[in-house]
């Protein structure tokens, strides 16, 4: 099965596509957003890549968990700058949210006898 990807590019002056392109899964999911966070780190904390990743992650957390969920609020308030601490915190929060989602889905299936 092939997963579709969305290339988010921003051209500022004359730069290569590699320097200004962040690959985020077109179908947003935790794994893709975590990988995209690591891509921001690999790109030496490129500001544009960081802002696109952050925006996409906040939208996904809001849609998936709701605007008032702890992880949505914490991500929005703590992941503010393209620095190691912010990106690492963000990928950690996405990982924790993914695990919580997996556990809740498991518990629901168990409760329903599925």
Q: Which domain holds residue 85?
A: 5-111
Total domains in the chain come to 1
Map tokens 């629901």 to a residue: 108
Average pLDDT of the segment spanning 24-29: 62
pTM listed for this prediction: 0.71
What's the rounded mean pLDDT across residues 29-34? 94
What percent of the chain shows pLDDT beyond 70? 68
Nearest CA-CA partner of 69 in 29, 33, 100: 100
pLDDT for 111 equals 72
Given this model, what pLDDT does residue 43 score? 87
DSSP one-letter code for 3: P
List, in order, residues 6 or more apart from 32 with CB less than 8 Å away.
Answer: 24, 25
User: Looking at the predicted structure, is the pLDDT value of residue 63 above 70?
Assistant: yes
Q: Is the pLDDT of residue 51 over 90?
A: yes
């Amino acid at each position: 099965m092939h997963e579709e990807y969305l290339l988010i590019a921003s051209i500022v002056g004359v730069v290569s596509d590699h320097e200004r392109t962040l690959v985020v899964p077109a179908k947003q999911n935790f794994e893709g957003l975590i990988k995209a966070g690591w891509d921001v780190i690999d790109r030496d904390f490129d500001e544009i890549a960081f802002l696109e990743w952050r925006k996409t992650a906040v939208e996904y957390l809001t849609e998936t968990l709701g605007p008032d969920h702890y992880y949505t609020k914490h991500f929005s308030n703590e992941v503010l700058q393209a620095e190691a601490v912010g990106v690492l915190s963000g990928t950690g929060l996405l990982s924790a949210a993914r695990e919580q989602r997996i556990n809740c889905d498991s518990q629901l299936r168990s409760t329903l006898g599925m």
